[in-house]
Amino acid sequence: MKVCPSCYAVCVDQKWAFDEAKRERAMKGNGWEKHLCPGCERVAKGQVDGVVYLRGDFLKTHREDAKNLIRSVAEKKLRKNIAARIYHIEEKGDEIVIETTDRALAERLGKEFERAYSGHLDIQWQPGSAFARVYWTRDH
Using CB under 5 A as the binding rule, the residues of this chain from 26 to 45 that contact Zn ion are: 37, 40
Task: With beta carbons less than 8 A apart as the criterion, state whether 78 and 39 touch.
Answer: yes
Q: Tell me how many residues contact Zn ion (CB under 5 A).
A: 6
- The residue among 7 and 97 lying less far from Zn ion, judged by its C-beta, is 7
- The residue among 44 and 116 lying less far from Zn ion, judged by its C-beta, is 44
78 binds Zn ion (CB under 5 A): no
Task: With beta carbons less than 8 A apart as the criterion, state whether 108 and 123 touch.
Answer: no
CB of 58 to Zn ion, least distance (A): 33
Rounded to whole angstroms, the Cα distance separating 123 from 59 reads: 19
Site string for Zn ion, 3-22 (x = CB under 5 A): -x-xx-x-------------
Using CB under 5 A as the binding rule, the residues of this chain from 56 to 75 that contact Zn ion are: none
- The residue among 4 and 74 lying less far from Zn ion, judged by its C-beta, is 4
